[in-house]
Structure 1
């Protein structure tokens, strides 16, 4: 009987412990700005470097609320070779700002809200298309990988591709 109790208790701890860790992580992100959360995650190091080069740190650290469609480092790697390096040059700052602000919506849009939309206007001025299906959610052609990373000034949704606005 004691070994059965030990087994059940062990399973309970194994199931509850990860849930507690996830809950603790959620609380930690809610206390940080979008920039602080992204800077604390190695998967967003290219995005953070781009935000710094564009001079958008203060803006995205502001009150918000913002929804950031955050491309991973792997998403940036899908761009043609040399694209990121070129965009990070000072002479391309305006183009970089346009691309980055095309990833930001000036509202806090949780996943439950996003799936009800077919488009959203970005801070850059153009709209992104939103499609929800049994395969998941896409923003333009980017697949949403993770949703609802709640931050002090908004929310982050992780995407697998960099969104490029149409040339004006």
Structure 2
């Protein structure tokens, strides 16, 4: 009896499904058309000279380097993007790593993040940017003789490059030292070196 009911149920279900399909076929008139639809291709944007300049800039290099995301965010916050993307420079960017920013005590970093201290934060960021293009080789070559290279940042701070073994060390006016890690990231308007300490912060 149970088998019979199951068979009857399945039979009724199949009849309903077939009738539905037939109704759909009858209700949908076939329309012949000779029109052929072709998918429209998305138009490629033609890059201007300025677009190419921005894409190749040191700003783009900083933003595309994962270990420099915090510094990239700082550049955007202080509105220094045009300096590093549109100006010819050339510039040497000594970009603190994410770990370097994380190492700053909150009581020292938080005041810079307040809106009223935006100018001071901007100066801090610009004190990691040097006018001129200095690869690691250039820095080492310029150290010959005196053993150091004195540089001035866009923010007006004095920094010094020296060597300790095979490492290039950057020292700020307060005596704080940072080591260059990832180096010679070349952009269209300068060079980027990653450093392990945020400089010029007391």
Q: Name structure 1 gaps, 5 residues minimum.
A: 1-30
Distance 1:128 1:65, change over 3 A: same
Q: Distance in 1 between matches of 2:80 and 2:93?
A: 13
Equivalence for 2:52? none
State how far apart, in whole Å, the 2-side matches of 1:84 and 1:42 are.
21
Aligned residue among 83, 98, 101 for 1:59: 83
TM-score (norm 1): 0.75
| Structure with more contact order per residue of length (Cα contacts < 8 Å, sep ≥ 6) | 1
Once the two structures are superposed, the pairs formed by residues 1-168 of structure 1 within 5 Å of their partners are: 32-61=56-85, 62-115=87-140, 116-117=142-143, 118=148, 119-140=150-171, 141-164=177-200
Aligned pair count reads: 136
Separation in 2, partners of 1:69, 1:132: 16
Is the contact made by 1:70 and 1:103 (CA closer than 8 Å) also made in structure 2?
yes
In structure 1, C-alpha distance between the alignment counterparts of 2:71 and 2:108, rounded to whole Å:
13
Contact 2:61 2:192 in 1 (8 A): no
Work out whether residues 53 and 90 of structure 1, in 8 Å CA contact, stay in contact via their aligned partners in 2: no
Structure 2: unaligned runs, 5 residues or longer: 1-54, 172-176
- Cα RMSD of the aligned pairs, angstroms, is 1.7
User: What is the TM-score normalised by the length of structure 2?
Assistant: 0.63
Give the 4+ runs in structure 1 shifted more than 3 A: 82-86
